[in-house]
């Protein structure tokens, strides 16, 4: 399982490279350079140095004492990716890809973003490494996330509003890929999740594995054993893969939590594995939300980071073989979990991460106090305060 | 003879108009037709064809309907080869075998899938042979050492993407384009056509000497967009088709001049290759 993808970029039947011919050579170049970089101890050392000296790793493993007592079941630990520089796990991958881009002699970065977290991470590393950065963002998201747009501009990035389709993450990704097709000779496309054509799902996973590797070590130190259950939210699925991957060969239950939006029985959700079917999106064969004619449909979630109609192909594979269980949590349940975590632990999680927390809160009371649940708290909720306020004041409950 | 291969989107601006546009294009001198199937996420297309796809999707166009439209074109007497241009996902949902069966049933002459590169297309190529519907391969300016591999399996013709980037109307084409086309021709056993960005008679004039055919998409689709209201209305459609044909004729004037010059040459080998699906 740890050796996937194969040389064709497949995780079982999932993954691959479904892109215009123009991108085949740029992808092959990235793949070759990535393999060389990953085998080069000095590349790894530099990646780790930036994670530790710049992003503030290792991130803490926090025992959620109050939540554990309140829920009255399994012990709950939180892997605190919210404590990273820029406030989420996205920076791990952005640093890795920026180092690879530099190694390849590319000084121009393209990125797509939904809520703006990956856009901010890309803009941040571009500033740090002296690179040019263009961030494609759906016009609708530009409006919803004005603060992050301004952050990116402060960091010196150019934010390009995308007006095609529904003007959200899917469309921003389409436009970033189109721009890349035209400028692949001197631009590096920094994808923010474990999606896209091979080698991106593998590359982003390798740059997010640090989450699970650290958590594993910290857990053994704190408790002398591995957790029984690990829970992480899944949009594209980068924090989840990063968290799960180092535990996949262990006897550890892994649960990925998708966004159920207003409920998986409605059309307003982003529960791709739960409700989707096999299809191709953004260069990869995976589960997709689509109609019977193969047209991609628009997802919905209160969380912009989970509001995506596809999912990383490795998640599709892990679901298919039954190694990871995928469940879903509604807007309402996520917001309630966010409030409870804020009130009881003094941590305001991102709405994305609150989906994982909500699932953990449902499971913990059913488990014995000998068991340990480890939750990936992928990002902090500062960016979401306005959304939560609107929701609680009734806007989101219409 | 040089090929003129126009591209239109099925269902843009409406089904009836698409059939009439196909007839008009054949009469104007098209030697093949590329019929685009609208898709929600067309990665290889620029804004003009994206908008056309949105219009067609709003009208309820689907892959199955687009294939049926070819059948209707055949009934109305369209003889030129019709190549289905579709993204992969709709084919995957319809089922690859079913797609080829329907394509064959409706008289399609080839299929081109812009997001299914060589490495992922083996199954489709094999099915294409079974159903006698050639799978058209693309080569791009970045293909380099891939050209030989792709050309070795090319069926019916090879489609050269003129420049880096998506479909669209371009003022200028890359300076290295001639060199690229020569390189592709040196590997290819089948005719080599060029597309992406070609939108003026001047570009057609310059390119016709270094390739076997020219694909014009966005420029034609843009004209359809300008005429969409008139094309939608049965009372004004004929006049709109006349204006459209005039525009298309002006685009390909350089090719026609050449056709007139070579009128004595009777060979239409490449057309036959496509319609019968032979690989060489």
Domain residue limits, chain A: 17-51+90-201, 56-88+209-397
Residues whose CB falls within 8 Å of the CB of residue B162, separated by 6 or more in sequence, listed in order: B141, B173, B174, B177, B194, B195, B196, B197, B198
Q: B220: closest CA among B159, B160, B167, B175?
A: B167
Q: Verify whether the Cβ–Cβ distance B119 to A22 is below 8 Å.
A: no
Q: A79: closest CA among A388, A385, A373?
A: A373
Can you give the pLDDT at residue B275?
Answer: 45
**Whether CATH 1.10.10.10 fits A56-88+209-397:** no
Rg of chain B over Cα atoms, rounded to whole angstroms, equals: 17
Q: What is the pLDDT of residues B119-132, one digit of tens each?
A: 999 999 999 999 99
* Closest Cβ opposite residue A16 in set B89, B120, B164: B120
| Selected residue of A294, A308, A310 to mutate for chain B interface (largest B Cβ count, 10 A) | A294
Cα(B192)–Cα(B195) distance, integer angstroms: 10
- Show residues of chain A in contact with B63, CB under 8 Å: 293-294
Give the alpha-carbon dihedral of B197, B201, B202, B205, to 10 degrees: 100
Q: Verify whether the Cβ–Cβ distance B89 to A183 is below 8 Å.
A: no
Q: Is A18 on the interface with B (CB under 8 A)?
A: yes
The residue ranges of every structural domain in chain B are 3-136+213-274
* Closest Cβ opposite residue B43 in set A178, A183, A279: A178
Cα(A6)–Cα(A28) distance, integer angstroms: 14
| A292: closest chain B residue by CA | B93
For residue B228, how many other CB atoms are within 10 A of its CB? 17
* Closest Cβ opposite residue A21 in set B57, B94, B117: B117
Can you give the pLDDT at residue B279?
Answer: 37
Cα(B162)–Cα(B194) distance, integer angstroms: 6
Q: B82: closest CA among B14, B160, B5?
A: B5
Can you give the pLDDT at residue A259?
Answer: 98
For B237-247, b/e burial (b = at least 16 CB within 10 A) is beebbeebbeb
* Closest Cβ opposite residue A21 in set B92, B93, B138: B138
Q: Is A53 on the interface with B (CB under 8 A)?
A: no
Tokens of residue B18, six digits? 């698409």
- Show residues of chain B in contact with A182, CB under 8 Å: 164-166
Q: Is the pLDDT of residue B262 over 60?
A: no
pTM score, whole prediction: 0.94
* Closest Cβ opposite residue A20 in set B44, B89, B92: B44
Interface predicted TM-score (ipTM):
0.94
**Whether CATH 3.30.465.10 fits A17-51+90-201:** no
Contact criterion met (CB below 8 Å) for A227 and A219:
yes
Cα(B45)–Cα(A188) distance, integer angstroms: 20
Contact criterion met (CB below 8 Å) for A75 and A371:
yes
**Residues of B at the A interface (Cβ-Cβ below 8 Å)?**
39-44, 46-47, 50, 57, 62-64, 87-94, 114-120, 138-144, 146, 150, 161, 164-166
Distances (CA, A) of A120 to A45, A143, A156, B148: 24, 16, 10, 42
Give the alpha-carbon dihedral of B64, B67, B69, B72, to 10 degrees: -120
| CB pairs < 8 Å spanning A and B | 120
In this chain, the answer to whether the domains covering A17-51+90-201 and A56-88+209-397 adopt an identical fold is: yes
Q: B198: closest CA among B160, B142, B228, B231?
A: B160
Q: What is the DSSP string of A51-81?
A: HHHTS-PSPPEEE-HHHHHHHTSSEEEEEEG
* Distance to chain A for B80, nearest Cα, Å: 27
Q: Verify whether the Cβ–Cβ distance A178 to B161 is below 8 Å.
A: no
Kindly give the confidence (pLDDT) of every residue in chain A, 398 residues in length, as a single tens digit, with 9 standing for 90 and above. Answer: 568 999 999 999 999 999 999 999 999 999 999 999 999 999 999 999 999 999 999 999 999 999 999 999 999 999 999 999 999 999 999 999 999 999 999 999 999 998 899 999 999 999 999 999 999 999 988 988 888 999 999 999 999 999 988 888 999 999 999 999 999 999 999 999 999 999 999 999 999 999 999 999 999 999 999 999 999 999 999 999 999 999 999 999 999 999 999 999 999 999 999 999 999 999 999 999 999 999 999 999 999 899 999 999 999 999 999 999 999 999 999 999 999 999 999 999 999 999 999 999 999 999 999 999 999 999 999 989 999 999 999 854 44
Query: pLDDT category, B276, cuts 50, 70, 90?
Result: very low
Q: Is the pLDDT of residue B278 over 50?
A: no
Contact criterion met (CB below 8 Å) for B204 and B195:
no
* Distance to chain A for B261, nearest Cα, Å: 36
| Selected residue of A287, A293, A296 to mutate for chain B interface (largest B Cβ count, 10 A) | A293
| Selected residue of B142, B158, B176 to mutate for chain A interface (largest A Cβ count, 10 A) | B142
Q: What is the DSSP string of A269-325?
A: -B-HHHH-EEEEETTEEEEE-B-TTSPBPPP--SSTTT--S---HHHHHHHHTTSEE
Q: Bridge-partner residues for A187, per DSSP?
A: A108
A17 in active site: no
Cα(B212)–Cα(B276) distance, integer angstroms: 18
Label each residue of B157-226 as H, E or C: CEEEECCCCCCCECCCCCCCHHHHHHHHHHHCCCCEEEECECCCHHHHHHHHHHCCEEEECHHHHHHHHH
Can you give the pLDDT at residue A166?
Answer: 82
Catalytic site positions of B: 34, 45
Q: What is the pLDDT of residues B150-166, one digit of tens each?
A: 999 999 999 999 999 99
Q: Bridge-partner residues for A375, per DSSP?
A: A78, A231
Can you give the pLDDT at residue B263?
Answer: 52
Return the higher-pLDDT residue of A115 and B26: B26
For residue A346, how many other CB atoms are within 10 A of its CB? 8
| B42: closest chain A residue by CA | A174
Give chain B's largest Cα–Cα span. Answer: 53
* Distance to chain B for A183, nearest Cα, Å: 7
What is the distance, to the nearest Å, from the Cα of residue B113 to the centroid of all Cα atoms in its chain? 11
- Show residues of chain B in contact with A22, CB under 8 Å: 140-142, 161, 164-165
- Show residues of chain B in contact with A160, CB under 8 Å: none
- DSSP tally for chain A: helices H, then strands E: 15, 14
Q: What is the pLDDT of residues B175-213, one digit of tens each?
A: 899 999 999 999 999 999 999 999 999 999 999 999 999
Q: A239: closest CA among A137, A312, A176, A319?
A: A312
Cα(B29)–Cα(A285) distance, integer angstroms: 40
* Distance to chain A for B259, nearest Cα, Å: 32
Q: Is A186 on the interface with B (CB under 8 A)?
A: no
Can you give the pLDDT at residue A322?
Answer: 98
A378 in active site: yes
- Show residues of chain A in contact with B43, CB under 8 Å: 19-20, 174, 177-178, 181, 282-283
Contact criterion met (CB below 8 Å) for B53 and A174:
no
Q: Verify whether the Cβ–Cβ distance B93 to A283 is below 8 Å.
A: no
* Distance to chain A for B44, nearest Cα, Å: 7
- Show residues of chain B in contact with A299, CB under 8 Å: none
CA atoms A287, A397, A72, A348: torsion sign: positive
* Closest Cβ opposite residue B43 in set A25, A174, A294: A174
Can you give the pLDDT at residue B268?
Answer: 42
For residue A95, how many other CB atoms are within 10 A of its CB? 27
| A294: closest chain B residue by CA | B90
- Show residues of chain A in contact with B41, CB under 8 Å: 165, 170, 174, 281-282, 296
- Show residues of chain A in contact with B93, CB under 8 Å: 277, 279, 290, 292-294
- Residue spans of alpha helices (H) in A20-145: 24-38, 41-53, 65-71, 90-103, 117-128, 139-144
Q: Is A56 on the interface with B (CB under 8 A)?
A: no
Q: Verify whether the Cβ–Cβ distance A24 to B90 is below 8 Å.
A: no
- Which helix (H) or strand (E) element contains residue A111? strand A108-113
Q: Verify whether the Cβ–Cβ distance B164 to A278 is below 8 Å.
A: no
| Architecture in CATH of B3-136+213-274 | Alpha-Beta Barrel (3.20)
Q: Is there a cis peptide before residue A58, judged by omega within 30 degrees of 0?
A: yes
Can you give the pLDDT at residue A2?
Answer: 66
Q: Verify whether the Cβ–Cβ distance B140 to A21 is below 8 Å.
A: yes
Cα(A152)–Cα(A154) distance, integer angstroms: 5
Cα(B87)–Cα(B64) distance, integer angstroms: 13
> How many percent of chain A have pLDDT more than 70?
98
Q: A197: closest CA among B168, B158, B94, B43?
A: B43
* Distance to chain A for B268, nearest Cα, Å: 29
Q: Verify whether the Cβ–Cβ distance A279 to B50 is below 8 Å.
A: no
Cα(A384)–Cα(A304) distance, integer angstroms: 10
Tokens of residue B260, six digits? 């007139």
């Amino acid at each position: 399982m740890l050796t996937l993808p194969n040389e064709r970029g497949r995780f079982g039947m999932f993954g691959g490279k479904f892109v215009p011919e123009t991108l085949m050579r740029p992808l092959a170049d990235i793949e070759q350079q990535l393999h060389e970089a990953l085998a080069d101890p000095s590349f790894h050392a530099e990646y780790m140095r930036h994670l530790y000296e710049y992003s503030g790793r290792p991130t803490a493993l926090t025992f959620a004492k109050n939540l554990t007592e309140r829920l009255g079941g399994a012990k709950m630990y939180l892997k605190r990716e919210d404590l990273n520089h820029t406030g989420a796990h996205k920076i791990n991958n952005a640093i890795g890809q920026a180092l690879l881009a530099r190694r390849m002699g590319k000084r121009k970065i393209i990125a797509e973003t939904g809520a703006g977290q990956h856009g901010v991470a890309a803009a941040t590393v571009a500033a740090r490494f002296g690179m040019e950065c263009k961030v494609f963002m759906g016009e609708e998201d530009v409006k919803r996330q004005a603060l992050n747009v301004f952050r990116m501009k402060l960091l010196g990035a150019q934010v390009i509003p995308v007006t095609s389709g529904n003007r959200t993450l899917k469309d921003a990704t389409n436009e970033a890929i189109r721009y890349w097709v035209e400028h692949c000779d001197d631009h590096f496309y920094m994808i923010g999740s474990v999606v896209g054509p091979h080698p991106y799902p593998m590359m982003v996973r390798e740059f997010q594995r640090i989450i699970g590797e650290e958590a594993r070590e910290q857990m053994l130190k704190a408790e002398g054993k591995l957790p029984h259950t690990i829970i992480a939210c899944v949009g594209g699925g980068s924090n989840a893969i990063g968290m799960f991957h180092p535990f996949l060969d262990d006897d550890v239950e892994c649960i990925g939590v998708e966004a159920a939006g207003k409920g998986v029985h409605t059309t307003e959700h982003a529960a791709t594995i739960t409700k989707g079917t096999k299809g191709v999106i953004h260069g990869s064969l995976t589960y997709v939300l689509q109609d019977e004619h193969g047209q991609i449909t628009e997802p919905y979630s209160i969380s912009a980071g989970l509001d995506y109609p596809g999912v990383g192909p490795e998640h599709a594979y892990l679901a298919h073989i039954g190694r990871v269980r995928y469940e879903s949590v509604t807007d309402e349940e996520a917001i309630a979990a966010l409030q409870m975590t804020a009130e009881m632990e003094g941590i305001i999680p991102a709405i994305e991460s609150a989906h994982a927390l909500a699932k953990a809160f449902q499971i913990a009371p059913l488990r014995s106090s000998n068991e340990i649940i480890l939750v990936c708290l992928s990002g902090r909720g500062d960016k979401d305060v306005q959304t939560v306020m609107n929701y609680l004041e009734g806007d989101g409950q219409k | 003879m040089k090929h003129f291969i126009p591209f239109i989107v099925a269902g843009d601006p409406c089904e009836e108009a698409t059939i009439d546009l196909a007839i008009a294009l054949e009469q104007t001198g098209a030697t093949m037709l590329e019929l685009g199937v609208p898709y929600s996420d067309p990665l290889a297309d620029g804004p003009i064809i994206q908008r056309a796809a949105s219009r067609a999707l709003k009208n309820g166009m689907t892959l199955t309907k687009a294939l049926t439209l070819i059948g209707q074109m055949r009934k109305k007497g369209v003889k030129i080869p019709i190549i289905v241009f579709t993204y992969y996902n709709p084919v995957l949902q319809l089922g690859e075998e079913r797609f080829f069966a329907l394509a064959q049933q409706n008289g399609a002459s080839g299929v081109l899938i812009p997001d299914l590169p060589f490495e992922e297309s083996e199954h489709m190529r094999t099915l294409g042979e079974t159903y006698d519907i050639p799978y058209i391969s693309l080569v791009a300016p970045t293909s380099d050492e891939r050209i030989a591999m792709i050309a070795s399996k090319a069926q019916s013709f090879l489609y050269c993407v003129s420049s880096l980037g998506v479909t669209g109307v371009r003022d200028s084409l890359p300076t290295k384009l001639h060199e690229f086309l020569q390189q592709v021709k040196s590997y290819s056993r089948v005719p080599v056509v060029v597309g992406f960005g070609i939108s003026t008679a001047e570009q057609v004039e310059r390119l016709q000497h270094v390739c076997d055919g020219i694909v014009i998409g966005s420029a034609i689709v843009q004209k359809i967009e300008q005429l969409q209201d008139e094309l939608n209305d049965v009372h004004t459609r004929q006049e709109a088709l006349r204006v459209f044909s005039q525009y298309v004729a002006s685009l390909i004037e350089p090719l026609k001049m050449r056709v007139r010059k070579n009128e004595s040459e009777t060979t239409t080998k490449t057309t036959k290759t496509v319609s019968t699906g032979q690989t060489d």
